Chains A and B, each alone.
Chain A
Amino acid sequence: MPAPTSFTPGREPHRRAVQIRAHDWGWRHAGRHNPAVSGLGLQIEPGERVLLLGASGAGKSTLLHALAGVLGDAEDGDATGSLLIDGRRAAEARGRVGLVLQDPDSQVVLARVGDDVAFGCENLAVPRAEIWPRVRRALAEVGLDLPLDHPTSSLSGGQKQRLALAGVLAMQPGLLLLDEPTANLDPEGVIDVRDAVVRSLDLSGATCVIIEHRVEVWQDVVDRVIVLDPAGGVLADGATRDILASQGERLAQAGVWVPALPPRFPTRHPVPQPQTLLRAEGLMVGRVPFGRRTASVVADNITLDVRAGTASVVTGPNGAGKSTLALTLAGLLAPAGGMLRASDAFSAGIRPEPHRWRSTQLLTRIGTVFQDPEHQFLAATVRDDLLIGPRALGLSVVQQTSRVDELMLRLRLDHLADANPFTLSGGEKRRMSVATVLATRPRLLVLDEPTFGQDSRTWQELVTLLAELLDEGTAIVAVTHDAQFVSALADEEYRLGTPDPIRLGSGAL
């Protein structure tokens, strides 16, 4: 092995915390009419920890991407004013700034844990002899106690986010940027990532800017809140407590989860004597791995009843088989063993095993809302997509149109009728995915993590809508990590890994 090359002066790690100064800064993405950010003036001192809030579309992510130097050049958009990091243009400060993004899956670069953390150091031309101590230190800081050759593909979401954080910390940035780092994680993963961030900031003293609409998680970590105005500039800026008090109402309306203003739980009107639709006894669930013939069982000995007008939630740790159970109950996967049967009233003249029903027979019986809404979009516009189900049922054109129009109004999608579903915002995509399912009026609704990563406004709308459906007699099975969702709706909780369902009794039972 050759001797490690010595440091060249300009390439030393910048441990020093950085200062951010924006003066009348703005950015318009190429091809867009309106700027994403405009007239922004602010100053963040070295070592400050800032929570960046604002309505969706206020330009939070754009600002963070600009600070990270990944917005692109004149081809990608037009900048106005100035955005300086330690007096230099943000685009030139690459390497002094570390950015962690929202989606755990799309930030893993390499196949092995150690290599992935080393990736950023390599790009900054850190000498080889220096890289590996940095990698070990960064992994220790984020609490990832794994061998360096551990495959990154087998990590959980929370572990992947901590890996991304370690990869950034190993670059020893003076500014840490976090763009909704915990939005896609289960509660345990959220706490792990939050604690890892706090630990590393305490060690490095770096400046930190966080975007996150779950204020509760970060309010004790940050010392300042900045609220961006969708109309341009800063709406409010100050100590966390003051801002949450003065702007709380406004922020909550914009979808921010303000701890003092939790969403309202809907009032339920239970259905008398709920009918059983599905019965599982000693059910085993599993998936057939790619290239194999037999399913590998992920959960077994499941016994539960699905009843009309009743919400059953499936909870449990990651990897316990919650989604697999949901897809099996939805008739999309064949049971790996045991029994799953529809009642005569539910099957209404067809055979009792849901996984043997034809695709169109499922439509009026079971509707499934997938975890990733994009997986269930089929057409190029919102309206065409919503029409697919009613058309497959053979409804008349008049009926199809009236159903879809009514749904679009109810779920606030009417102004998006001609938009491409893939271009909608996160909350709109979720509402849209629920609408596609409701269009065929199924008697059972199966939802996989319906509230994952949603802002408080979408959450409220979704829970209200589901409560209405329950009152009308629809049965609901939902896989969730969301404790508030469970409190708001669940009549029965099935915790995977425990033998019997837990009756919560808020509704029909």
Chain B
Amino acid sequence: MSLLTPTIRPSVVARLNPVAKLAVALTVSCALLLSIDWVSAGVALLLEAVLLVWSGLSARQFWLRTAPVWIAAPMASITTVLYGEDSGALLWQFGFISVTEGSAQLGLAIGLRVLAIGLPGIVLLATTDPTDLADGLAQVLRLPARFVLGGLAGLRLVGMFIEDWHCLTLARRARGVGDGGGVRGAARRFFGPAFSLLVISVRRGSKLATAMEARGFGSDEPRTWARLSQVRAADAVLVGVGCAISGIAIAVAVWAGTWSFVLA
């Protein structure tokens, strides 16, 4: 498995057009950013959890990929509970730290929100091949080919950075500057190879650009696409589901009276 050719198990979600997935992730995020309350985020998260079953990710893959969100959510939540704006009854106090009903509720809302926005985004992207995404961006959204394909080709260099970084650190050890020197030494050991990596990467990038240009890339002539990317009925359904999740989440929050429009 690698960054550019991820092993994606065939699943309902994996077959969908990446642009539709992107649209859903953006719709849900925007809807949830309009208010900070625990009901809308909770409802959205619940509905998403049902849909994640169809993602085709194995349990291991799911937890591994979404780990950052599971760590970030409680952190954001606890920070808000402890330091968030106080309102309502005082529940607990220690020095300048105070937990009130208001800050507790806000913390819950923030935590759920991070999950409800983060999880579907990561899961949808984990089931997307970067090449397919580029095809979608260029053919469905009509973004400029030069920009999309340039970015895609550049992504391939990331794998090489890792290999280069490894070699650079070994080389520093071989040259007698691989350890010692305390904090300053450690800083030098990071910034030294970082600069070399920059030089080597720029060099690689310009070679790649020449190779692409030699194959006719970058002219103003129209180009064709070997892989067809189009929006099918299933993609429309997915976007519909995304809108429905957002709509239901907002409706329930308004009905429960917790909706607080951030722009109001």
CA distance A167 to B214 in the complex (A): 11
B5 x A112 contact (CB < 8 A) = yes
Q: Which residues of A from 414 to 445 have beta carbons under 8 Å from B?
A: 422, 436-437, 440
Query: Given A111-B131, A119-B215 in contact, is the A125-B221 Cβ separation under 8 Å?
Result: yes
Kindly specify which of B19-27, B102-110, B162-170, B245-253 makes contact with the partner chain. Answer: B162-170
A375 x B176 contact (CB < 8 A) = no
| Contacting residues, chain A, for B212 (C-beta < 8 A) | 109, 119
A375 x B156 contact (CB < 8 A) = no
B5 x A376 contact (CB < 8 A) = no
Known: A122-B225, A359-B175, A375-B196. 14 other contacts (CB 8 A): A98-B215, A114-B226, A122-B224, A153-B2, A153-B156, A164-B211, A330-B174, A332-B170, A359-B177, A368-B174, A370-B174, A375-B168, A377-B196, A392-B175
| Contacting residues, chain A, for B2 (C-beta < 8 A) | 111, 151, 153
B167 x A375 contact (CB < 8 A) = yes
CA distance A117 to B23 in the complex (A): 31
B156 x A111 contact (CB < 8 A) = yes
| Contacting residues, chain B, for A132 (C-beta < 8 A) | 226
- Please tell me the number of chain B residues within 8 Å of chain A, measured between CB atoms: 52
13 A-B pairs within 8 Å (CB atoms) are namely A99-B214, A107-B208, A109-B211, A111-B2, A114-B226, A121-B226, A123-B215, A290-B162, A290-B166, A327-B170, A359-B176, A375-B167, A440-B176
B224 x A436 contact (CB < 8 A) = no
A115 x B215 contact (CB < 8 A) = no
Nearest residue, chain B, Cβ from A290: B162
A131 x B171 contact (CB < 8 A) = no
CA distance A333 to B152 in the complex (A): 33
CA distance A391 to B162 in the complex (A): 29
A111 x B4 contact (CB < 8 A) = yes
Nearest residue, chain B, Cβ from A291: B162
Q: Is residue B160 within 8 Å, beta carbon to beta carbon, of the partner chain? A: yes
B173 x A359 contact (CB < 8 A) = yes
| Contacting residues, chain B, for A99 (C-beta < 8 A) | 211, 214
B226 x A118 contact (CB < 8 A) = yes
Q: Is residue B217 within 8 Å, beta carbon to beta carbon, of the partner chain? A: yes
Q: Which 4 A-B pairs have the closest CB atoms?
A: A359-B178, A123-B216, A392-B176, A111-B4
A153 x B228 contact (CB < 8 A) = no
B174 x A151 contact (CB < 8 A) = no
| Contacting residues, chain A, for B175 (C-beta < 8 A) | 359, 363, 376, 378, 388-389, 392, 436
Q: B197 CB to closest chain A CB, in angstroms?
A: 10
Query: Given A125-B224, A153-B2, A153-B5 in contact, is the A168-B171 Cβ separation under 8 Å?
Result: no
Q: Which residues of B from 169 to 202 have beta carbons under 8 Å from A?
A: 170-180, 192, 196, 199-200
| Contacting residues, chain B, for A330 (C-beta < 8 A) | 174
Query: Given A122-B223, A128-B228, A358-B180 in contact, is the A367-B174 Cβ separation under 8 Å?
Result: yes
| Contacting residues, chain B, for A109 (C-beta < 8 A) | 149, 153, 156, 208, 211-212, 215, 217
Q: Is residue A106 within 8 Å, beta carbon to beta carbon, of the partner chain? A: yes
Query: Given A112-B5, A333-B170, A360-B176 in contact, is the A122-B162 Cβ separation under 8 Å?
Result: no
Q: Is residue A110 within 8 Å, beta carbon to beta carbon, of the partner chain? A: yes
Residues of A within 8 A of B (CB): 1, 65, 68-70, 94-95, 98-99, 101, 103, 105-112, 114-115, 118-128, 131-132, 135, 151, 153, 164, 167-168, 171, 287, 290, 327, 330, 332-333, 358-360, 362-363, 366-368, 370, 372, 374-378, 388-389, 392-393, 422, 436-437, 440
CA distance A370 to B200 in the complex (A): 15
Nearest residue, chain A, Cβ from B153: A109
B215 x A171 contact (CB < 8 A) = yes
Query: Given A110-B152, A123-B216, A128-B224 in contact, is the A362-B204 Cβ separation under 8 Å?
Result: no
CA distance A112 to B5 in the complex (A): 8
Q: Which residues of B from 140 to 162 have beta carbons under 8 Å from A?
A: 149, 152-153, 156, 159-160, 162
CA distance A151 to B156 in the complex (A): 11
Q: Is residue B227 within 8 Å, beta carbon to beta carbon, of the partner chain? A: yes
Query: Given A115-B226, A327-B170 in contact, is the A106-B177 Cβ separation under 8 Å?
Result: no
| Contacting residues, chain B, for A290 (C-beta < 8 A) | 162, 166
Q: Which of B162, B171, B216 lies in contact with A375, CB distance below 8 A?
A: B171
Nearest residue, chain B, Cβ from A118: B226
| Contacting residues, chain A, for B217 (C-beta < 8 A) | 109, 119, 123
Nearest residue, chain A, Cβ from B155: A111
| Contacting residues, chain B, for A112 (C-beta < 8 A) | 5, 131
A372 x B213 contact (CB < 8 A) = no
Nearest residue, chain A, Cβ from B1: A151
| Contacting residues, chain A, for B203 (C-beta < 8 A) | 422
B156 x A388 contact (CB < 8 A) = no
B174 x A376 contact (CB < 8 A) = yes
Query: Given A105-B160, A127-B224 in contact, is the A95-B216 Cβ separation under 8 Å?
Result: yes
Nearest residue, chain A, Cβ from B7: A151
Q: B164 CB to closest chain A CB, in angstroms?
A: 7
CA distance A345 to B174 in the complex (A): 20
Query: Given A110-B152, A111-B4, A112-B131 in contact, is the A124-B216 Cβ separation under 8 Å?
Result: yes
CA distance A376 to B173 in the complex (A): 10
CA distance A294 to B178 in the complex (A): 22
Q: Is residue B219 within 8 Å, beta carbon to beta carbon, of the partner chain? A: yes
| Contacting residues, chain B, for A375 (C-beta < 8 A) | 164, 167-168, 171, 196, 200
B214 x A362 contact (CB < 8 A) = no
| Contacting residues, chain B, for A440 (C-beta < 8 A) | 176
Most A Cβ at <10 Å: residue of B2, B156, B199: B156
A110 x B173 contact (CB < 8 A) = no
| Contacting residues, chain B, for A363 (C-beta < 8 A) | 175-176
